Amino acid sequence: MSDLTHYIGGARVAGTSGRFADVYNPATGEVQSRVPLASAEEMDHAVQAAAAAQPAWAAVNPQRRARVMMKFVTLLNRDMDKLAEALSREHGKTLPDAAGDVQRGLEVVEYCIGAPQMLKGEFTDSAGPGIDMYSMRQPLGVCAGITPFNFPAMIPMWMFAPAIACGNAFILKPSERDPSVPLMLAELMEEAGLPKGILQVVNGDKAAVDAILDHPVIQSIGFVGSTPIAEYIYGRGCSNGKRVQCFGGAKNHMIIMPDADMDQAADALVGAGYGAAGERCMAISVAVPVGNDTADRLIAKLIPRIEKLKVGPYTAGKDVDYGPVVTAAAKQNILRLVQAGVDQGAKLVIDGRNFALQGYEDGFFVGPHLFDHVTADMDIYKKEIFGPVLSTVRAQSYEEALGLAMSHEYGNGTAIFTRDGDAARDFANRVNVGMIGINVPIPVPLAYHTFGGWKKSAFGDLNQHGPDSFKFYTRTKTITSRWPSGIKEGAALNFRPME
Ligand code: NAD
């Protein structure tokens, strides 16, 4: 068993705090390595290295900074298989899904190659007599990001690529569950030409996060993870005067109208409900068929599809639809909520509780579950399960279905399946959720749009990637400049509009 490291000042550095967390192979249940948990002192070393390196990086012209991103894209493609394998080994997701994790991060890196265009600023010639006005976007300095276990490649890249393209230094505190890929990404960025100290990885738990929250040099914090931690980081980070954006949990509803193509809807639900074992913030966890007849038809289509799902280790390659969940604790939490669903009166149509895989008895596998007749007061409806569990809530009308999505505390993503353009348009306009799919189950926006939920799924004003990311990672400065013509006007004592 090996000990992982941090990546500070351009080198892999052993942890010195004496504290470690076990990193599991979720398919076998074995501990495969230990990750060091940083102290506040170790975090401070990284911050000092970042602060020393950042001014020179900010002075590199944006086009040259963008070239590092171009080279990084080439290296990501070169190492795609290696990255996907390392990711699957710690996370448990299938190899194609792990490659997708890298790919959706890579696309944001590609978007950041456009940094020179995004950072151009604004200019007004002759805003007044002899007066020009211009604004520019300047980097913040040292930025930090705290990321979840479920996308260990994509979400770090969503943060560090725009931050670094804008001229900042970035400190990444990845999830302690799957820290290997973030370390590999930092090495690849340096191979792509990034100066030492501009991207660092400091592994850790709450102690490292608190050191970020309280460090006076760190200017901004990006967080993605569960809502209680998002609220904590947002509150403490903002009260310490930092710029903070936090993205939290989800409970994504898919409305199935009576006129929907039921085969298409059932296929979409199986992919969006059970892919990656349901460990996606954009997973569909609630199906809302409108009308009992729609519900009966949908359930009849879902059952054979779900029964056919193949659950297994990533090493089985294409023969597997989804893998284990990330830890034994995550598995216990899912099974506890399933039991609560049964106890509270939901109908468990497909029961995955006794799922077992020969040769992998100690792995964290959870079979697929399907609930029908779920109601809004049940724990399985109110809470994020983050597992392969799909709950069906029967609505009697479109308005009732819309109302369910709207009154849930989370508002990350939602979808409607229908052939009726009017219903789809009404839904997209009225629902209070950040990302909407129309006959698309997982509407994750592409890199050049922005990603973010509403309600308890996001805290802060700006979304991730797209144009918002360039706003989040820069400060605007506006200059009013006058080169006198020689005419003397005397002092102006009033605050007055430009003439
Ligand atoms: P988590 O909240 O447990 O951990 C996220 C990060 O916070 C990790 O780096 C972890 O080390 C740190 N952390 C954990 N406990 C902490 C504490 N007490 N104090 C300070 N820091 C702490 O989340 P997770 O289990 O890694 O990820 C799953 C969650 O992330 C789900 O709720 C999922 O919906 C959410 N998620 C949201 C989005 C989004 O864009 N909205 C995307 C992906 C995942």
SS3 category, 329: helix
Segment 436-443 shows an average pLDDT of: 96
Pairing outcome for strands 218-224 and 199-201:
unpaired
Q: What structural domains does the chain harbor?
A: 2-248+457-479 (3.40.605.10), 252-438 (3.40.309.10)
Alpha carbon distance 72, 91 (integer Å): 23
Q: Is 281 a catalytic residue?
A: yes
Q: Which strand (E) or helix (H) includes residue 208? A: helix 206-214
CA of residue 231 to ligand 1 center, whole Å = 11
Report d(CA 350, CA 373) in Å as an integer. Answer: 13
Q: Is the pLDDT of residue 8 over 80?
A: yes
* pLDDT, tens digit, 9 for 90 and up, residues 282-320: 999 999 999 999 999 999 999 999 999 999 999 998 889
Residue 487: the pLDDT is: 62
Task: Convert the pLDDT of each residue in 449-491 to its tens digit.
Answer: 999 999 999 999 999 999 999 999 999 999 999 987 776 667 7
SS3 content of the chain, % helix, strand, coil (to 5): 40, 25, 35
pLDDT digits (tens, 9 = 90+) for 367-413: 999 999 999 999 999 999 999 999 999 999 999 999 999 999 999 99
In sequence order, the β-bridge partners of residue 134 are 123, 479
- Answer whether 151's CB lies under 8 Å from 465's CB: no
Asked if residues 49 and 200 have their Cβ atoms less than 8 Å apart, the reply is: yes
How far, CA to CA in Å, does 58 sit from each of 55, 102, 108, 145? 5, 27, 20, 19
| pLDDT score recorded for residue 281 | 97
Q: How far is CA 146 from CA 25, 152, 377, in A?
A: 22, 11, 32
Which pLDDT belongs to residue 318? 81
Residue 199 and residue 168 in contact, taking contact as beta carbons nearer than 8 Å: no
pLDDT score of 109: 98
DSSP string covering 16-67: -SS-EEEEEETTTTEEEEEEE---HHHHHHHHHHHHHHHHHHHHS-HHHHHH
Residue 176 Cα: closest atom of ligand 1: 11
DSSP string, 106-153: HHHHHHHTTHHHHT--EEEEEEETTEEEEEEEEE-SEEEEE--SS-TT
89: tokens are: 């080994």
Residues having CB within 6 Å of any atom of ligand 1:
146-151, 173, 175-176, 205-206, 209, 224-226, 229, 247-250, 281, 384, 386, 412, 453, 457
Half-sphere exposure of 326 (CA within 13 A, CB side): 22
Ligand 1 geometric centre to CA of 386 (Å) = 12
Token digits for 419?
Answer: 């052939």
Q: What band does 119 get if pLDDT is binned at 50, 70 and 90?
A: very high
Instruction: Render pLDDT for 202-258 as a digit per residue (tens, 0 to 9).
Output: 999 999 999 999 999 999 999 999 999 999 999 999 999 999 999 999 999 999 999
What pLDDT is attached to residue 484? 76
Ligand 1 atom closest to Cα of 458?
Answer: 41
Residue-level pLDDT at 202: 98
CB 400 within 8 A of CB 394: no
**Residue 102 in tokens:** 């890298």
- For atom 9 of ligand 1, the residue with the nearest CA is 175
Q: How confident is the model at residue 70 (pLDDT cuts 50, 70, 90)?
A: very high
The pLDDT of residue 156: 98
Q: Whose CA is nearest to atom 42 of ligand 1?
A: 281
Q: Which candidate, 71, 70, 97, places its Cα nearest to that of 83?
A: 97
If pLDDT is split at 50, 70 and 90, which confidence band does 1 have?
confident
